[in-house]
Amino acid sequence: MKIAVCAKTEGMESVVDDRFGRAEYYVIFDTNKLVGETVENSAKGEPAGAGGSAVRLLSNHNVEVILVPELGPKAVDAVNGFEMKAYRYADRKTVRETIAAYQAGGLQQIETSTTRSKSGLRRA
């Protein structure tokens, strides 16, 4: 299985990003091979719909689970459309620590939007 985490920089020791659609990078961890790959977020500069485009990008990398700080309504629709699962993290930990928290069952699954529409640019 492949798990993607929003990241500020490259690698498993990166601090997680506080944005999903406009995150700088995604670290994709393969639970079978036990390796992480960093992918630059090509959707981060889009004027609108970055969350949906980011989900598509991750789907192209065969990601099944995404670990995120929040998801807007369009991103939730995209996650459901691509048959992925999303889980929410709250703490600013490393990618490695966030994946460990998910694997231990410590993250809550996201089934509906955690933000209002068009609030993904920055939280107030």
In a domain, 40, yes or no: yes
Dihedral of alpha carbons 93, 67, 102, 32, sign: negative
- Chain centroid to CA 31: how far? 16
In a domain, 9, yes or no: yes
Please classify residue 112 by burial: count the beta carbons closer than 10 Å to its beta carbon, then call 0-12 exposed, 13-18 middle and 19+ buried.
exposed
Between 117 and 42, the higher pLDDT residue = 42
In a domain, 28, yes or no: yes
Provide the domain count of the chain: 1
At 108, the pLDDT band (50, 70, 90 cuts) reads very high
- Of 61, 56, 55, 54, residue with least CA distance to 29: 61
Residue type, 53: S
Select, from the ranges 42-51, 68-77, 78-87, the one with the highest average predicted confidence (pLDDT).
78-87
* pLDDT above 70: percentage of residues in the chain: 92
* pLDDT (tens digit per residue) in 27-71: 999 999 999 999 999 989 888 888 899 999 999 999 999 999 999
C-alpha dihedral (53, 104, 89, 73), degrees to nearest 10: 40
Q: What is the pLDDT of residue 111?
A: 87
In a domain, 116, yes or no: no
CATH of the domain at 53: 3.30.420.130
Whether residue 116 is predicted with pLDDT greater than 80 in this model: the reply is no
In a domain, 123, yes or no: no
